Structure 1
């Protein structure tokens, strides 16, 4: 004889309405575009920042661990700024968990902000990311995969647009030195990140890390390359001091000539 199980009570209309309001407020705080706060980047991006309802791809400049670390922290810094509201969390989906939590926290992505998901293969990680994007309640989603074809990236782009949630896809593994960004993709922006020599300091030690950042492709815009100082404790990049001073001097010279 079978036993009837009590059905799960459905949420009330009032509760659903309240959840929709909370979600709308969260999306409004996140904003349609996340700027880098650096004119050197924002003025060259067609949207003047990263579209919060789009797919953005990142790859390391080489197989070296230093470049892998630079790309990972570049991702973490972006995620930290998407999560800058008190109750915002994000999903980081992987097949092999090797993230270094103290390193993420140094660029502003504390453990209270991150939900980790692990799949056995890329297909599971991509499915996890797509579901999280369509849910629309997360500040952003990061997924690390070996490969993602055009169909997979189209699905992620559509899911990001539907849920108005930014998708950061880390194409982490390289095959025989081939750049993962050489394959077709539906991403709105594609970034290649590598480490660069830090500035010499007047005392013994290492200066603030620097990264070589290449925007390989963007919709409705041109590619560009910049050398920048790595993310600070809030996930923000900076121009190297010499470059920043040179830019100020040029502005002053221009104003005097005018």
Structure 2
């Protein structure tokens, strides 16, 4: 009996060490985008669950910042269960994220007074294990903090998204520092394509995959718009 317990403990320790060293898990669970050009590029065909991911705006304007928030909302909208969204600024527009499939009755909002409190709520949510996804808006993310978040995600199996938001442009340089996030994305808004009838065209994004564990960096220009035109069955094309 003791030998069986020791073997199980050793196997569990080996699996944890493998994750820390970046070795691929034998049964990695992923969340596909439903957009072929992106899913084919990502290891396993989608975003890893039980992992931390980073998203930032391509510029310092409100439009790119909104695009980054919508990108994150579109990801967690395709999970099951409640979504924890941690902020320091009360400017998240619920009707906008509902348009990408994240209904207001699924979102639990945490309004914290400072970034340290946001990170603490972020980590607690990641460790909880009963949430569909956890999103936090932070300016700085150190290697130590990101490792804690990544380990919490691996333990619970939850997907966590850190939206990098800066109050001052000088803070944007922090995005170049390494973290333990499995993927790192940058989202920029592009001019919409004209419609055959009067009206506002469908939004277009430039999606940059800056870092991905197990894959090369890549750019996807208007990938979600292409999915719509090809009538792929994707939640992004509603």
- Normalised by the length of structure 1, the TM-score is 0.74
Partners of 1:109 and 1:120 lie apart in 2 by 25
Aligned to 1:205: 199
CA spacing shift, 1:180–1:70, aligned 2, 3 Å? farther
Partners of 1:179 and 1:43 lie apart in 2 by 30
Aligned to 1:239: 226
How far residue 154 of structure 1 moved from its aligned partner, in angstroms, is 0.4
Residue 222 (1) aligns with residue 216 (2): yes
Aligned to 1:144: 137
Partners of 1:223 and 1:136 lie apart in 2 by 30
How far residue 65 of structure 1 moved from its aligned partner, in angstroms, is 1.0
CA spacing shift, 1:107–1:222, aligned 2, 3 Å? same
How far residue 36 of structure 1 moved from its aligned partner, in angstroms, is 0.6
Structure 2 unaligned regions, length at least 5: 1-27, 232-238
Aligned to 1:6: none
Number of residue pairs matched? 203
RMSD: 1.9
Aligned to 1:233: none
Answer yes or no: is the 8 Å Cα contact 2:42–2:215 preserved in 1: yes
Match of 2:62 among 62, 65, 69: 65
Deviations 1:133-188 (A, max 9, x none): 11100001000011111000000000000111001000111533845531111000
Deviations 1:24-76 (A, max 9, x none): xxxxxxx9210011120011112311111000000000111110111111111
Aligned to 2:178: 184
Greater CA radius of gyration, 1 or 2? 1
Match of 2:41 among 38, 44, 53: 44
Partners of 1:119 and 1:178 lie apart in 2 by 21
Partners of 1:139 and 1:60 lie apart in 2 by 23
- Normalised by the length of structure 2, the TM-score is 0.80
Answer yes or no: is the 8 Å Cα contact 2:60–2:169 preserved in 1: no
Q: Secondary structure at the match of 2:109?
A: strand
Q: Secondary structure at the match of 1:81?
A: coil
Partners of 1:177 and 1:157 lie apart in 2 by 23
CA spacing shift, 1:177–1:162, aligned 2, 3 Å? closer
